[in-house]
Structure 1
Amino acid sequence: MPKAKKLQIEAVIQDEETAVEVAKTDAQVSDLELVTNIVAGKLTSNAKEYSAALKNEIANYTIKRYIDDPDAAKTDKAYLNKLLDEVAEKRKLATTTWNKPLDEFISVMKELETEIKTASNNLKTIVDKADQQVKDEKKAKIVEFWNTLNFTIVPIERVFNPRWLNKTEKLASIIQECKAIVEKITTEMNTLKSMQDEDAETLQAFYLETLDLNATLQKGNQLKENRTRIKAEEERKAALVAETNKPVVSDNSEPDLSPKGPLIPTTEQQKEMSYSEIKNISNKNYTVEPIATFRLEVTAPASKLVALRKFIDDNEITYKKI
């Protein structure tokens, strides 16, 4: 441990007339003394010089120096810890002392701001109430004028613009806007009524919901396209049914009176037949061709058998091994 002496470390606050002692402690430090004087609005200290000197001293406290002397390490560790406490205490004291008048000022100002805001809000209630009364009176005049236009198909609420209640909006200008709105709606409604369209009433109702002529015309085109698609689909289905029900005439012009229906084999149709019977059936025109079973054993080159298997699969002929 380096040579040290018992020192007095003081920190004071000085104002114009008095000096008030705020801390006095005993500590063992190096030959330099840390002196901190806090004058109102100014802090003076030899902290930089003190720190530089103390850092040189601290550099001596290394593991290598004490590796073989744990008792000395223990003693000097206690010294360093005490020195640390003293330096930290000085810093905290200076911070608290410096901030105290500022903290008091901030507290007073915040309290004052709160009181001012409360007073302002109290007046705001009165001001807002007066402003709302002016807006209500102005809106009543606008509604009154709208009613004189004898235009009930669209209520004023549908077209009312909140901007009209601004102080900068003059009543004369608002009246002209109302007239223009009525004229626009009337013209567009007449346009829809004049259309020779089976959807005319539907489109007029749609327009009253949107007050948008372009959107209404697009809706009309969409309805027409939908009807066209529906009609085309119905015609396609009718043609398909007619083709399915068309009688099949054989070579001798005799109508085929065999039952109509899907290709569902009956028990009789699935019976095993000879080749001649099958050939005889294949020469006739059937709406529902009978399904027969013909057994045979095929012997041929491998490539031919592969080709036969492909033909059977391509024509959806069922088979099983025997």
Structure 2
Amino acid sequence: MPINHQILLDNRPTGEASTSNFKLVKNELPELKANQVLVRHDFLSLDPYMRGRMNDSKSYAVPQALGQVMGGGTVGQVLDSRSDKFHPGDKVVGMGGWQEYSIVDATQVGALRKVDTTHVALSHYLGAVGMPGVTAWYGLVKIIDPKAGQTLLVSAATGAVGSAFAALSKARGCRTVGIAGGPEKCAYAVNELGFDACVDYKLYQDAASLSAAIKLACPDGVDGYYENVGSMVLNAVMPCLNAFASIALCGMIAGYDGKPVPMSNPSLMLLSRLKIQGFIVSEHMDIWPEALAELGQLVATGKLKPRETVAMGLASAPEAFLGLLKGKNFGKQLVKLG
């Protein structure tokens, strides 16, 4: 059996996370038992939710255990199998974690899923045709519930969730506006992802000036907002929302290091009669087949062109993860392992 390199959560961060919170180790893999499958990971997904799991505090997910392999989505290839459900050479997606190999119990429902790479690249099953894409789909379809002609807005517009949101929104006939950081990302949002406009939040020092820019990009107001960031961005969006607008509350990256994320004018929730709903996509597994089918079709037909930032080698994962939290990635952040 091969040697497996792994990254563990060694200690919990105090405030901002750092590379010292992680530890790289290696172990020899044990022989497979009945119904087990050996998977070699080609790509590891890095996602903002992982930062919350590093804390031992109340959250929607169980905290990451100390001294254990960091959890995370992976795609790869079956090397060996003691299960009749999987065979060597199968391309699979699962939650293999921050390591080069995983041994999976094939009897555990949903632990491992075969994927077809004929029209969709394997790595996209960690992004546009994976958890981030389904997250975009649920917030748009089930919470915002848009109507053709409405104006929709999404923060972190060029990330894995935001880019999928754009394709899904445009497919429903909506004017779609993004918020992103930097001229390159905003140009990509409009020219490649199909956004009607994109606001560069880095040009503005406060919520009032950013809000004015959003109003220029959304002259008819905002009917639905997909929230990934919080803090100044959320405060800037709130005055732009139309009466009875909906907010799909997906992430609050600005508060992931434990900093408070204050809302400057909460009375707008009442004055505009807003619907605000937070959600965790893993709690809605029933919608995954429908969402994945639409997302796969969008990618296969070129209507969704996912962009990826790829770090090389398992040892690069901590630094790449910290960069993700600061918006240094462009599109979906991955680590290439195979």
Q: Same fold (TM over 0.5)?
A: no
TM-score by length of 2: 0.16
Structure whose residues are more often helix by fraction:
1
TM-score by length of 1: 0.17
Task: Considering Cα pairs closer than 8 Å and 6+ residues apart, tell me whether 1 or 2 has the greater RCO.
Answer: 2
Greater radius of gyration (CA): 1
Structure whose residues are more often strand by fraction:
2
